[in-house]
Chains A and B, each alone.
Chain A
Amino acid sequence: MSYGYKIAAALVGAVLLAAGSFLLTDAPAAESSWVFRLAMQGTALGAAIVAAGIAIYGLAYLGTSRKRAEERERLSTSRGSKGYSPDRLDMRPVKPSKFFYNMALIFVGVVFIGSAAGTGIPSGQGMSLDQFQEMPGRIWSYLVGMSQGVFQVPGEDARGDWSTAFEAMLESVAIAWIGTIIGAVLSLPCGILAARNLSPLALYIPMRFILSVIRAVPEIVFAVALFIPLLGVGPAAMGGAMAGAFALGISSIGTLSKLISEAIEGVDPGPVEAARASGATQVQVIRWAVLPQAMPEVLAIWLYRFEVNIRASAILGALGAGGIGRLIAPPNGLFGRSPYDWEAIGITFVVIIAITMVVDQISGFVRHRVIHGKRVRQKKQKKPGDDAPTDGPKAAAVPV
């Protein structure tokens, strides 16, 4: 398919998409749901823009075909003037087509425009122009209120706010810790069962499926739907904190087991084979050939999950599952009693940020120590004239 035909095909596709989505704005579905109607309008608009762009490009392509030929001619003759004339002009490869790649990019663009329209933000669903104009002033006054709370010399009230926030944040840390411990204890066997090189297919497939299901449910839903009824709601003494801890623990299992199984699949197969060859049972293989290799990385994964859980636990309180979340969510914090106590909210945010960062630093240090051993973190000072740069030790690949 030559380039011209591809342009034509893309044009037809864009026009069809525009027309189709435009027709769908009158569909019965659009009657009942404004989201659908707006999304379709946006898609139609985006596709129309793309179609227009492709049309203009195609016309330009048609119009300049002679010019391009001349240009090619000029360049191929001008190279003689440099005193170098390759006799293998035909060796130049044809530029490989990136047609589908470009089309996919444009398609993502159209989807973006359609979704943006669908959220109703551009057309002002959910907020009026007045609100929008007042926004900067409101943001400014709120920020001033928050920083006043943080930077003032703590009086009686503010001292109470600081200590409440700290206690609540420590409760969050406790929730995150228990959640991580629960997740860690359960994730090791699950991870081993979900590792392709250790577990039989009959266990591997259901295990993977269960883990995906766990990963699909947000921890906040675990807390609200399952553990608050089971363990209680409200501050720590009422059982809300326990509900949060268990929610975090169970939802940790999903990610932790997946990462652990990947770490286990990545171990050097040599020792495993050697252990099997010398007649070790499966448990012995795991204990002496797999775990010694994978354990540092597993520890790092657990610690990383602790960091993630701290962040998650900070919001569980918004639903009555314990922790600092109850200070920023209704009815105590924002959207509780109006006017909001911005000074206290500012203090709460600062405490969240500070404790989270401190825990991150500690955990990061321990992780580094676990992975890289005792060696002090040293800046690689590459001396020129040395041998080829050697790759440093592999850092643990721990996504969130």
Chain B
Amino acid sequence: MKLTLKIWRQKAPNAKGRFETYQVEANPHMSFLEMLDVLNEELIAKKEEPVVFEHDCREGICGTCSMVINGEPHGPMAGTTTCQLHMRHFRDGETIVIEPFRASAFPVMKDLAVDRSSMDRIIQAGGYISVNTGAAQDANAIPVDKDTAAHSFDAAACIGCGACIAACPNASAMLFVSAKVAHLALLPQGKVEAKRRAQAMVKQMDLEGFGMCSNITACEAECPKGISVENIARLNREYLSSALGSETVA
């Protein structure tokens, strides 16, 4: 299949970017990234600079690949990361527009690669259970109801790719933050510091320059792991109850 690609090229964080047009010959069994590999090999053969895009596991689990394909983070298929997207879902002769994730908290580094370390800093602010190595009791001493454990797991499945943020017109990180808050707050082990966690993570989210949530739910629609906006409701509950409670949280 013959494709026309319009790809965002940007030399460095402060450089001016622009769309460049390329022609590429692909095969329907290829993954989207393998199609870009083919393009890059052709560029290198012409001694031109290949398109920089981030990727690693190519199994849809590490969260490294990003990019917006035809206006959608991770492209047109629901529940699919860019690396798991295959060319059989595109038409011969199609023009595909490829851009980086856009958000002020995700500065472009080069071409399609953006800096997502703001998400790490949100986790560092409180996205954990405070337990040192060696301080744990026997694993079966904490029974967890099977359904609750399943809900917790659904939230824990977040791969931290940032598609929710790229999809949101406000570039809000609420789905990402709420997934971690819900994953931990649903478990008895994580309940203990749930209030402190919610407050600290929301505070850091605001500091990083992420926008507010206005219930558009594009985040859920574009999430490759199907993380539900119900988690945002849970975060709001945890956050409100901690803000209204009598205890002060640093």
Q: Are the chains A and B members of one assembly?
A: no
Chain B residues in the interface with A (C-beta under 8 A): none
Chain A residues in the interface with B (C-beta under 8 A): none
